[in-house]
């Protein structure tokens, strides 16, 4: 069928796009930056960002073609199709509909979203689940492959520049592994059961797809009840004996149209009687509508170029990763409360951060959401990439000029750890590398001192501090960001 070929072609293009978006580590990659719209058109991120036009467009697309979002746009759905290609058989084991389980997951997701509990809604949101798998598992493999190819070419190829592998938080890696294993088992055994049973986005779109204009329908006059369509269905939504297609679970893959040898399945607008919507479904639609309105209402319309000695580079390898008592968030996040309620933990900012200062959290309500650590770099004042690519508006867009005046935290000095005190040597690393001149050397011994009104919390002083295993100067986060 031509329509299936078109869908597969579009899905393949989307897969390639997501690979570039999350896995391309080229410095200043123009391709990855141009593909940021792939994150913007995801339903939940668009809802959290208040992108009303995108939300309406996706809902309208569902009312016309059913859950085509799940087969073409959703990266987790595309990943399941790739995993399914590992199976030798193309037959699927049909499962009965489990509406209570589906709506229970949807209710949990809605309540967590309204209550601002990211620990729960980030686990169920499909785009974020894919982002964790891509960043925590796919990105290290991509970097290792790049380094292996660089080694095989003798280090003379301009295509393969060696890079460092940075591991993410333990919780994110563990959740990514468990999610991938569940997806692999479900996909190889039953097909896309995640989409038809667990995914809250799929369940919500399934409620709308009952009224979709174009959806597979069985012609009782020509159907022989051979069951070929049911065996090819990814979600088990076809009852061949009764001649019924459950539109709420159908992900518009069009495998059934290809499998039918008697042309008994059609994709055309025809008048059919639909079952009345139950009170429970109306309640869920109402809850989701309230969630959308509340989220939409909440939305309002320096590179320090210093010489790096070999000793400094070697020192960086042995610095322990340290986190602020309050999670340190990028400029544009505005406050801890705003970020926690908006961020879905998709890890896109983590994978695209050129300084590698963003890493997923392993603690508190912000579990799986990113925070900053300066063990491997510092937040460059001339970089606003995370604010440009964040699809949920958790990190709102800011200019480079705005970033240079936003204080995300303040540097604090522990003189008992400073090498001037412990080793009795002269050191000006923090003062020399501070982009805002917030650090000065005072007294006869030239001990560092921080001018809080000038510090923006970029972490350059902490990164370049030679004290080990902990830096003597450390950035502590502000609950609320403000201009200085």
Q: pLDDT tens digit string along 49-62?
A: 889 999 999 999 99
| Position 121 in a domain | yes
Q: Running DSSP on this structure, what letter comes out for residue 327?
A: P
Residue with tokens 């939940």: 44
Are 151 and 14 within one domain? yes
Cα distance between residue 395 and residue 294, in whole Å: 19
CATH classification of the domain holding 329: 3.30.70.20
Cα 47 versus chain centre, distance: 14
Q: Which residues of the chain have pLDDT under 70?
A: 27-29, 88-90, 94, 157-159, 270-324, 364-365
In the listed set 244, 267, 290, which residue is the last one of a domain according to the structure? 267
Per the CB < 8 A criterion, the answer to whether 218 and 245 are in contact is yes
Cα distance between residue 135 and residue 294, in whole Å: 30
Are 43 and 167 within one domain? yes
- The DSSP result for 167-220, as a single string, is ---HHHHHHHHHHHHHHHHHHHHTSSHIIIII-HHHHHHHHHHTT-SS-EEE-T
Are 71 and 189 within one domain? yes
Are 256 and 326 within one domain? no
Are 237 and 322 within one domain? no
Cα distance between residue 251 and residue 248, in whole Å: 8
| Position 390 in a domain | yes
How are beta strands 473-483 and 406-413 bridged, if at all? antiparallel
- 3-state class percentages of the chain: helix first, strand second, coil last, to nearest 5: 45, 10, 45
The whole-number pLDDT of residue 409 equals 93
The whole-number pLDDT of residue 234 equals 86
| Position 348 in a domain | yes
Are 445 and 368 within one domain? yes
In the listed set 267, 293, 323, which residue is the last one of a domain according to the structure? 267
Are 154 and 250 within one domain? yes
In the chain, the number of structural domains is 2
Determine whether 14 is exposed, middle or buried from the number of CB atoms within 10 Å of its CB (0-12, 13-18, 19+): buried
- Closest C-alpha among 201, 195, 200 to residue 252: 195
The whole-number pLDDT of residue 286 equals 56
Task: Give residues with Cβ within 8 angstroms of 304, minimum separation 6.
Answer: 380, 381, 433, 434, 435, 460
Are 77 and 185 within one domain? yes
Are 377 and 437 within one domain? yes
Task: Give residues with Cβ within 8 angstroms of 414, minimum separation 6.
Answer: 472, 473, 474
Are 227 and 325 within one domain? no
Are 342 and 404 within one domain? yes
- Which tokens belong to 401? 């000029």
Are 243 and 133 within one domain? yes
The whole-number pLDDT of residue 60 equals 94
| Position 276 in a domain | no
| Position 380 in a domain | yes
Give residue 363's domain range: 310-483
Q: In 362-448, which residue ranges form alpha helices assigned H by DSSP? A: 385-389, 400-403, 419-422, 429-433
């Amino acid at each position: 069928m031509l329509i299936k070929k078109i869908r597969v072609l579009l899905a393949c293009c989307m897969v390639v796009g997501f690979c570039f978006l999350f896995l391309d580590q080229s410095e200043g990659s123009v391709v990855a930056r141009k593909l940021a719209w792939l994150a913007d058109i995801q339903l939940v991120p668009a809802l959290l960002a208040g992108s009303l036009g995108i939300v309406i467009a996706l809902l309208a697309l569902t009312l016309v073609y059913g859950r085509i979002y799940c087969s073409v746009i959703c990266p987790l759905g595309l990943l399941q199709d790739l995993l399914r290609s590992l199976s030798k058989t193309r037959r699927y084991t049909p499962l009965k509909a489990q509406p209570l389980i589906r709506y229970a997951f949807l209710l949990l997701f809605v309540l967590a979203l309204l209550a601002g509990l990211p620990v729960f809604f980030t686990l169920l949101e499909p785009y974020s689940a894919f982002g964790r798998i891509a960043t925590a598992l796919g990105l290290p493999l991509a970097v290792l492959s790049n380094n292996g190819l660089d080694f095989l070419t003798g280090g003379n190829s301009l295509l393969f520049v060696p890079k460092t592998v940075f591991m993410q938080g333990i919780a994110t890696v563990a959740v990514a592994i468990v999610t991938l294993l569940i997806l692999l088992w479900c996909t190889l055994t039953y097909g896309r059961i995640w989409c038809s049973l667990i995914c809250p986005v799929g369940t919500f779109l399934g409620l709308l797809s009952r009224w979709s204009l174009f959806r597979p329908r069985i012609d009782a006059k020509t159907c022989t009840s051979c069951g070929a369509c049911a065996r090819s269905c990814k979600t088990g939504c076809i009852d061949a004996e009764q001649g019924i297609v459950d539109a709420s679970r159908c992900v518009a893959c069009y495998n059934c149209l290809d499998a039918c040898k008697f042309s008994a399945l059609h994709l055309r607008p025809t008048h059919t009687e639909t079952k009345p919507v139950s009170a429970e479904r109306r309640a869920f639609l109402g809850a989701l509508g309230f969630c959308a309105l509340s989220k939409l209402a909440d939305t309002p319309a320096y590179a320090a170029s210093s010489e790096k000695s070999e000793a400094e580079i070697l020192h960086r390898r042995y610095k322990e990763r340290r986190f602020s008592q309050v999670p340190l968030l990028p400029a544009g996040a505005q406050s801890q409360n705003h970020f926690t309620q908006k961020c879905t933990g998709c890890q896109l900012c983590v994978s695209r951060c050129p300084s590698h200062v963003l890493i997923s959290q392993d603690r508190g309500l912000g579990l799986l959401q990113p925070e900053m650590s300066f063990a491997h770099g510092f937040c460059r004042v001339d970089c606003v990439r995370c604010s440009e690519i964040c699809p949920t508006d958790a990190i709102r867009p800011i200019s480079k000029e705005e970033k240079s005046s936003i204080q995300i935290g303040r540097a604090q000095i522990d003189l008992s750890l400073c090498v001037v005190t412990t080793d009795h040597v002269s050191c000006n690393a923090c003062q020399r590398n501070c982009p805002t001149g917030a650090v000065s050397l005072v007294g006869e011994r030239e001990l560092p001192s921080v001018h809080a009104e000038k510090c923006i919390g970029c972490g350059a002083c902490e990164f370049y501090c030679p004290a080990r295993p902990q830096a003597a100067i450390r950035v502590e986060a502000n609950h609320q960001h403000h201009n200085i």
